[in-house]
Amino acid sequence: MTSDYNKELEKVLEEKFYCPSRFAQEVEKLVVQESVSYIDAIIAFCEINKIDLESVPKLLSKPLKEKIKFEAMELNFLKKTSKARLVF
């Protein structure tokens, strides 16, 4: 049953967003237009579009994940790593 639910969820998300790159574009647009963080933009976007936050990981592209990780480290939500920093 959960497999069917996941397939249906993916289908609905694909119809609405097409792919993770489209989701990333919408989040990036909010970040620029509203001058908010990536984390806040994702939460706001999900609230506006009535998307369950638990479905967000399926929509995150690798570049968007990196930006969120960098932002989380800057806010001390994650331990800072010795790896190179993301440049915007």
Q: Tokens 């506006």, residue?
A: 48
Please give the single-letter amino acid code of residue 23: F
pLDDT score of 1? 55
Please give the single-letter amino acid code of residue 62: K
Residue 60: closest CA among 75, 48, 45: 45
Whether this prediction's pTM lies above 0.75 is answered by: no
Question: Distances from the Cα of 21 to the Cαs of 26, 41, 60, in angstroms?
Answer: 9, 15, 8
Pick out the chain residues at pLDDT < 70. Answer: 1, 13-18, 82-88
Please give the single-letter amino acid code of residue 38: Y
pLDDT score of 12? 73
Contact 58, 10 (CB under 8 A): yes
pLDDT score of 13? 66
